[in-house]
Structure formats: C-alpha cells, structure tokens
Amino acid sequence: MHAVLGTIPPPPFNGFELGPLDVRLYGILIAFGAYLALRLMVRRYEQFGGDPSRAETAALVMLGAGFLGARLAYVLPRLDHFLRQPQDILAIWQGGLALFGGLTIGSIVAFLYARNKRMDVPALADAAAPAVPLAQAIGRWGNYFNQELYGRPTDVPWALEVEAAHRRPGYESFSTFHPTFLYESLWNLVLFAVLLRIDRTGRLRRGSLAFLYFIGYGIGRAWIEALRVDTAERYLGLSRNNWVALAVVVLAVAGLVWWQRRTPPATTDPADDGDVDRDAADHAPADEAADAGTDATPSEGERPH
C-alpha cells in the first residue's frame, strides 16, 4: 500500500488501573453516551407534557434491556466459542455489543413498559429518537480504543493505523484501514441534529421521529457495513448486518407511512381501573393527572400546539 500523508494513529492506551479495578475506555464511553441520552430523553418527554420520573424509569429499563439484547445478539452467533470459554460471556470490555440486537430488545421492552404504565408511547418514542444516535456517536469511539470494527485497507488521508496484533487474518500486511467507527460516529451526529431539526418543524405526527431514526440509521449502517472486513459470512455479497440494516430501512419506511396515515384517537382514555374519575382526569392539571397515574400528554399520535 502506498504511504499516506496523514493518518489517525492507534490509541496510546485503552484503559487504566484504578486500585483493584481495570477501567477500560470502551466501557466509559458507552456509559457516558448512555447517560447523556438518558438525560436528553427525560428532558424531551417532560417538554412534551409527560412525567419526567416515569420517563427516567422507562429510559433505565430501555438501557438495561438494550444492553442485554446487544450482548445476547453478539454471543448467540458465536455460541461455539463462548461454550468453550464461558468466562468470556461477561468480558464486555473486550467489545462485543451487537447494536441491532440492543435496539430490538430495548425498543420492545420500553414499549411494553410504557403501555403498562399508561405513558404516552408516541411522545416517549419521539423523546428517545434523537437521544439514541447521540449515545451511539459517543459509544463508537470505544471501538477506536479497542482497535476493532475498522474497514477495508485504504491510503486515504484519514486512514486509521491498526497495530499488528489487532489486524484481521488475511490483512496482516496492511497497516491502514477505513475508520468505520469514525464514519458511524459522524453519521450519528448528523442524524441527531437532523432529527432535532425535523422535530422543531412540527410537521410530523408525534411518534414519527422514531421511524425517521430507524430509516436514517439503517441507511448509514448499510453503507458503512459494506466497508467492514470483520464479517466472514456473506449472503449475495452482503454481510448479515447489511441485510438487517436494509430490512430496518424498509420496515421503518412502511411504518412511517402507516403511522402518518393512521387516524388518531379522538381522546386519550386515562385509566380503565375505575379508580380515576374520567371527566376529572380529562380536565386535570398536569401534576394532578400524573398523580392519578396517567401522564398529562396529548392524545396518542398528536402534537401539542
């Protein structure tokens, strides 16, 4: 490969010791991104008229379920390895979080939790939509410090230097690669800004922003996956994650069209357990409605004016 004029150097270190603890930057960055996403999601849900304490609990439930789903989605396709070395199942500091698995499980569990608590699900989805790519943009830098998830060999000026110990089999003679972690981080930052901008226009129904997130992220992940060299299994020339990303885009487009055309309910049904007077709940202030067990949010799928 030709010499490059400028490169992204490998990380000088990937962690540090704090007493008996071996602290890895991979975990710190993921945790920091998750914290910022949680705070943003709670603040947005409160701005939509919901109870921030409920949103915080829902965010924690979503993060926990998403983390578990991401790890399971990474471990299960590599079950033979982890059965031989079961101690590695918990070694998340080495990497190994499958994002699509985390998004799927986290979204399903958050939806079920919100419905069970009679939260405004469309508002919660829109509150989370820009928060997720913000967390992803920060967390992807953890892959840089682990020297993983890079792309094909390249000599572009922004190529990533990878140390010999971290090069994939068959690529030992190459030293610089596409920094796919950086591509995805920047893509997510742009997606974060675009979602906030679209939300401010008020042209879409409440709940639509989540579909736009899946469309935007799926498109970005599809072309970034095409640069990766760490996927051995390919189907019709595309990796498993390529096909998943494309499927996510198709399903999200169909979901957005359906949601935009769906007739919104005339009113929000507060509670069906007989403990809340229906007329009083419909006219209660936000704090009284929250105390009654129902978020004082607009009708499902409608935006506040």
The pLDDT, as a whole number, for residue 141 is 93
For residue 56, give its domain range: 7-291
User: How confident is the prediction for the chain on average, in pLDDT?
Assistant: 81
Instruction: Confirm if 41 and 280 have CB atoms less than 8 A apart.
Output: no
* Stretch 255-279: mean pLDDT: 58
Is residue 305 situated within a structural domain?
no
The more confident residue out of 247 and 275 is 247
- Identify the residue whose tokens are 């990878």: 162
pLDDT at 14 over 90: no
263 pLDDT band, cuts 50/70/90, is low
Is residue 302 situated within a structural domain?
no
Residue 85's alpha-carbon distances to 72, 80, 81, 101, 215, in angstroms, are 15, 9, 6, 22, 37
Is residue 195 situated within a structural domain?
yes
Is residue 301 situated within a structural domain?
no
How many domains is the chain partitioned into structurally? 1
Q: What is the largest CA-CA distance in the chain?
A: 75
Instruction: Confirm if 70 and 98 have CB atoms less than 8 A apart.
Output: yes
Number of helices and strands in the chain (H, E): 12, 7
pLDDT per position as a tens digit, 40-71? 999 999 999 999 999 999 999 988 888 787 78
The pLDDT, as a whole number, for residue 89 is 72
The pLDDT, as a whole number, for residue 96 is 66
Is residue 205 situated within a structural domain?
yes
pLDDT at 198 over 90: yes
Is residue 299 situated within a structural domain?
no
* Stretch 139-157: mean pLDDT: 90
pLDDT at 32 over 50: yes
The more confident residue out of 179 and 294 is 179
Q: What is the DSSP letter of 10?
A: P
Is residue 304 situated within a structural domain?
no
* Stretch 66-81: mean pLDDT: 76
Q: Which two tokens stand for residue 59?
A: 């965010």
pLDDT at 4 over 80: no
Residue 291's alpha-carbon distances to 32, 54, 114, 231, 276, in angstroms, are 32, 11, 16, 51, 10
pLDDT per position as a tens digit, 205-223? 999 999 999 999 999 999 8
Tell which phi-psi region holds residue 207, choosing left (phi > 0), alpha (psi between -120 and 50) or beta.
left
Is residue 35 situated within a structural domain?
yes
